[in-house]
A and B are shown apart, each in its own frame.
Chain A
Amino acid sequence: EPEVTQTPSHQVTQMGQEVILRCVPISNHLYFYWYRQILGQKVEFLVSFYNNEISEKSEIFDDQFSVERPDGSNFTLKIRSTKLEDSAMYFCASSEQGLQADTQYFGPGTRLTVL
Protein backbone atom coordinates (compact mmCIF):
# COMPACT_ATOMS: atom_id res chain seq x y z
CA GLU A 1 0.00 0.00 0.00
CA PRO A 2 1.39 3.42 -0.94
CA GLU A 3 2.48 5.59 1.98
CA VAL A 4 3.94 8.98 2.78
CA THR A 5 7.58 8.83 3.81
CA GLN A 6 9.61 11.40 5.72
CA THR A 7 13.31 11.93 6.35
CA PRO A 8 15.08 12.18 8.66
CA SER A 9 13.16 10.46 11.44
CA HIS A 10 14.99 12.57 14.02
CA GLN A 11 16.84 15.86 13.53
CA VAL A 12 18.83 17.61 16.22
CA THR A 13 19.94 21.18 15.58
CA GLN A 14 21.27 24.21 17.36
CA MET A 15 19.07 27.24 17.90
CA GLY A 16 19.42 29.67 15.00
CA GLN A 17 20.33 27.01 12.45
CA GLU A 18 18.34 26.27 9.32
CA VAL A 19 16.70 22.88 8.91
CA ILE A 20 15.00 21.21 5.97
CA LEU A 21 12.52 18.44 6.58
CA ARG A 22 11.79 16.19 3.64
CA CYS A 23 8.71 14.28 2.58
CA VAL A 24 7.81 12.03 -0.31
CA PRO A 25 4.00 12.14 -0.71
CA ILE A 26 1.95 9.33 -2.23
CA SER A 27 2.73 9.38 -5.95
CA ASN A 28 -0.65 10.32 -7.48
CA HIS A 29 -1.55 12.85 -4.79
CA LEU A 30 -1.83 16.53 -5.67
CA TYR A 31 -2.34 18.20 -2.28
CA PHE A 32 0.41 18.39 0.30
CA TYR A 33 0.44 19.50 3.92
CA TRP A 34 2.61 20.04 6.95
CA TYR A 35 1.42 19.71 10.53
CA ARG A 36 3.29 19.79 13.78
CA GLN A 37 2.71 18.30 17.21
CA ILE A 38 4.49 19.67 20.23
CA LEU A 39 4.93 16.96 22.86
CA GLY A 40 1.67 16.43 24.77
CA GLN A 41 -0.29 18.87 22.61
CA LYS A 42 -2.66 18.78 19.65
CA VAL A 43 -1.66 18.16 16.08
CA GLU A 44 -1.63 21.65 14.52
CA PHE A 45 -1.99 22.63 10.87
CA LEU A 46 0.87 24.61 9.37
CA VAL A 47 0.32 24.85 5.62
CA SER A 48 -1.34 23.32 2.57
CA PHE A 49 0.19 23.33 -0.91
CA TYR A 50 -1.45 22.72 -4.26
CA ASN A 51 -0.46 23.43 -7.85
CA ASN A 52 2.95 24.70 -6.76
CA GLU A 53 1.67 27.31 -4.37
CA ILE A 54 0.52 27.70 -0.80
CA SER A 55 -3.28 27.41 -0.67
CA GLU A 56 -3.74 27.93 3.05
CA LYS A 57 -1.53 28.58 6.06
CA SER A 58 -1.92 29.04 9.79
CA GLU A 59 -0.70 31.87 11.99
CA ILE A 60 2.13 29.57 13.10
CA PHE A 61 3.52 29.52 9.54
CA ASP A 62 5.36 32.84 9.67
CA ASP A 63 8.29 34.14 7.62
CA GLN A 64 10.65 31.64 9.25
CA PHE A 65 8.90 28.82 7.44
CA SER A 66 8.80 27.98 3.76
CA VAL A 67 7.73 25.03 1.66
CA GLU A 68 8.86 23.82 -1.70
CA ARG A 69 8.27 21.03 -4.17
CA PRO A 70 11.72 20.96 -5.74
CA ASP A 71 10.97 18.06 -8.08
CA GLY A 72 8.16 15.68 -8.96
CA SER A 73 8.41 13.60 -5.84
CA ASN A 74 9.69 15.60 -2.85
CA PHE A 75 7.97 18.16 -0.65
CA THR A 76 10.08 20.08 1.86
CA LEU A 77 9.58 22.29 4.89
CA LYS A 78 12.37 24.74 5.68
CA ILE A 79 12.74 26.53 8.99
CA ARG A 80 15.23 29.37 8.48
CA SER A 81 16.36 30.12 12.01
CA THR A 82 15.17 27.56 14.49
CA LYS A 83 13.95 28.47 17.95
CA LEU A 84 13.66 26.27 21.02
CA GLU A 85 9.88 26.32 20.65
CA ASP A 86 10.15 24.76 17.18
CA SER A 87 10.97 21.45 18.86
CA ALA A 88 8.12 19.15 17.86
CA MET A 89 7.09 16.26 15.65
CA TYR A 90 6.51 17.47 12.11
CA PHE A 91 4.10 15.46 9.99
CA CYS A 92 3.76 15.62 6.25
CA ALA A 93 0.45 14.57 4.70
CA SER A 94 -0.91 14.24 1.20
CA SER A 95 -4.29 13.92 -0.45
CA GLU A 96 -5.33 12.92 -3.94
CA GLN A 97 -8.28 15.29 -4.33
CA GLY A 98 -8.10 17.56 -1.30
CA LEU A 99 -10.33 17.55 1.76
CA GLN A 100 -13.50 18.40 -0.14
CA ALA A 101 -13.55 14.96 -1.75
CA ASP A 102 -10.86 12.92 -0.01
CA THR A 103 -8.89 12.80 3.19
CA GLN A 104 -5.29 13.26 4.23
CA TYR A 105 -2.74 10.51 4.70
CA PHE A 106 0.06 11.17 7.14
CA GLY A 107 3.70 10.20 7.18
CA PRO A 108 5.49 8.85 10.25
CA GLY A 109 6.89 12.25 11.20
CA THR A 110 10.25 13.88 11.82
CA ARG A 111 11.12 14.63 15.41
CA LEU A 112 12.91 18.00 15.51
CA THR A 113 14.92 18.83 18.61
CA VAL A 114 16.30 22.35 18.90
CA LEU A 115 19.04 22.79 21.50
Chain B
Amino acid sequence: QKEVEQDPGPLSVPEGAIVSLNCTYSNSAFQYFMWYRQYSRKGPELLMYTYSSGNKEDGRFTAQVDKSSKYISLFIRDSQPSDSATYLCAITQGGSEKLVFGKGTKLTVNP
Protein backbone atom coordinates (compact mmCIF):
# COMPACT_ATOMS: atom_id res chain seq x y z
CA GLN B 1 0.00 0.00 0.00
CA LYS B 2 1.37 3.40 -0.98
CA GLU B 3 2.08 5.80 1.87
CA VAL B 4 0.14 8.71 0.36
CA GLU B 5 -2.42 8.43 -2.41
CA GLN B 6 -3.77 11.37 -4.36
CA ASP B 7 -5.95 11.34 -7.44
CA PRO B 8 -3.82 13.00 -10.16
CA GLY B 9 -6.86 14.29 -12.05
CA PRO B 10 -6.81 16.34 -14.16
CA LEU B 11 -9.63 18.36 -12.66
CA SER B 12 -11.27 21.13 -14.68
CA VAL B 13 -13.81 23.51 -13.15
CA PRO B 14 -15.47 26.80 -14.10
CA GLU B 15 -14.43 30.00 -12.39
CA GLY B 16 -16.25 30.48 -9.09
CA ALA B 17 -16.67 26.77 -8.40
CA ILE B 18 -15.83 25.11 -5.09
CA VAL B 19 -12.93 22.70 -5.55
CA SER B 20 -12.30 19.68 -3.36
CA LEU B 21 -8.89 17.99 -3.41
CA ASN B 22 -8.17 14.87 -1.38
CA CYS B 23 -5.45 12.55 -0.15
CA THR B 24 -5.47 9.35 1.83
CA TYR B 25 -2.58 7.96 3.80
CA SER B 26 -1.76 4.60 5.28
CA ASN B 27 0.53 5.31 8.24
CA SER B 28 -1.30 6.29 11.42
CA ALA B 29 1.99 7.74 12.73
CA PHE B 30 1.65 10.65 10.32
CA GLN B 31 0.97 13.76 12.35
CA TYR B 32 1.67 16.83 10.24
CA PHE B 33 -0.22 17.68 7.08
CA MET B 34 0.56 20.22 4.43
CA TRP B 35 -0.80 21.38 1.12
CA TYR B 36 1.52 22.84 -1.49
CA ARG B 37 0.74 24.46 -4.81
CA GLN B 38 3.11 23.91 -7.71
CA TYR B 39 3.07 25.80 -10.97
CA SER B 40 4.63 24.17 -14.01
CA ARG B 41 8.42 23.75 -13.63
CA LYS B 42 8.45 25.69 -10.33
CA GLY B 43 9.06 24.71 -6.72
CA PRO B 44 6.23 23.74 -4.36
CA GLU B 45 4.72 26.74 -2.57
CA LEU B 46 3.23 26.20 0.89
CA LEU B 47 -0.51 26.86 1.16
CA MET B 48 -1.66 25.28 4.40
CA TYR B 49 -0.09 23.49 7.37
CA THR B 50 -1.90 21.68 10.14
CA TYR B 51 -1.19 19.01 12.72
CA SER B 52 -4.58 18.29 14.21
CA SER B 53 -7.86 16.82 13.11
CA GLY B 54 -10.49 19.35 12.10
CA ASN B 55 -10.60 22.35 9.83
CA LYS B 56 -8.19 25.20 9.25
CA GLU B 57 -9.21 28.17 7.16
CA ASP B 58 -7.10 30.76 5.34
CA GLY B 59 -8.99 33.06 3.02
CA ARG B 60 -10.55 31.00 0.24
CA PHE B 61 -8.70 27.85 1.34
CA THR B 62 -9.82 25.34 3.97
CA ALA B 63 -7.75 22.34 4.98
CA GLN B 64 -9.52 19.44 6.65
CA VAL B 65 -7.92 16.51 8.42
CA ASP B 66 -9.68 13.34 9.56
CA LYS B 67 -7.09 11.22 11.34
CA SER B 68 -9.57 8.44 12.13
CA SER B 69 -10.15 7.91 8.40
CA LYS B 70 -6.59 8.88 7.38
CA TYR B 71 -8.07 11.38 4.96
CA ILE B 72 -7.13 14.98 4.25
CA SER B 73 -8.83 17.53 2.04
CA LEU B 74 -8.25 20.98 0.65
CA PHE B 75 -11.25 23.08 -0.35
CA ILE B 76 -10.95 26.13 -2.55
CA ARG B 77 -13.93 28.50 -2.56
CA ASP B 78 -14.69 30.91 -5.40
CA SER B 79 -11.95 29.38 -7.53
CA GLN B 80 -10.03 31.70 -9.86
CA PRO B 81 -8.09 31.04 -13.08
CA SER B 82 -4.94 31.93 -11.11
CA ASP B 83 -5.62 28.87 -8.92
CA SER B 84 -4.79 26.68 -11.93
CA ALA B 85 -1.81 24.60 -10.77
CA THR B 86 -0.91 21.22 -9.39
CA TYR B 87 -1.83 20.74 -5.72
CA LEU B 88 0.33 18.45 -3.63
CA CYS B 89 -0.49 17.01 -0.25
CA ALA B 90 2.54 16.35 1.94
CA ILE B 91 2.64 14.47 5.20
CA THR B 92 5.21 13.63 7.83
CA GLN B 93 5.34 11.78 11.11
CA GLY B 94 6.59 12.84 14.49
CA GLY B 95 10.38 12.74 14.79
CA SER B 96 10.98 12.77 11.04
CA GLU B 97 12.19 15.56 8.77
CA LYS B 98 11.02 13.71 5.66
CA LEU B 99 7.97 14.99 3.79
CA VAL B 100 6.06 12.32 1.90
CA PHE B 101 4.24 13.81 -1.05
CA GLY B 102 1.20 12.73 -2.96
CA LYS B 103 1.49 12.64 -6.71
CA GLY B 104 -0.42 15.91 -7.06
CA THR B 105 -3.75 16.86 -8.60
CA LYS B 106 -3.63 19.09 -11.65
CA LEU B 107 -6.38 21.72 -11.45
CA THR B 108 -7.55 23.99 -14.25
CA VAL B 109 -10.02 26.80 -13.49
CA ASN B 110 -11.66 28.01 -16.68
CA PRO B 111 -12.71 31.68 -17.01
Chain A residues within 8 Å of B43, by CB: 4, 91, 106-109
Is B19 at the interface (CB under 8 A from chain A)? no
Is A48 at the interface (CB under 8 A from chain B)? yes
Given A42-B104, A43-B88, A99-B92, A109 and B41 contact (CB-CB distance below 8 Å)? yes
Minimum CB distance partner of B8 in chain A: A40
Q: B residues 75-111 with Cβ under 8 Å of A?
A: 88, 90, 92, 94-104
Size category, B interface = 20 to 34
Is B44 at the interface (CB under 8 A from chain A)? yes
Partner of A56, one of B98, B100, B104: B98
Q: B residues 14-69 with Cβ under 8 Å of A?
A: 32, 34, 36, 41-46, 49
Check B99–A111 contact: CB distance below 8 A: no
Size category, A interface = 20 to 34
Q: How long is the Cα–Cα vector from A31 to B97 in the complex, in angstroms?
A: 9
Q: A residues 92-115 with Cβ under 8 Å of B?
A: 95, 98-100, 103-109, 111
Check B32–A99 contact: CB distance below 8 A: yes
Q: How long is the Cα–Cα vector from A31 to B92 in the complex, in angstroms?
A: 15
- CB<8 Å pairs between A and B, sample of 7: A43-B90, A48-B98, A50-B97, A91-B44, A100-B95, A105-B46, A109-B41
Chain A residues within 8 Å of B100, by CB: 45
Minimum CB distance partner of A92 in chain B: B43
Q: How long is the Cα–Cα vector from A103 to B63 in the complex, in angstroms?
A: 15
Is A27 at the interface (CB under 8 A from chain B)? no
Check A103–B41 contact: CB distance below 8 A: no
Chain B residues within 8 Å of A95, by CB: 97
Distance in Å: Cβ of B11 to nearest Cβ of chain A:
17
Check A43–B101 contact: CB distance below 8 A: yes
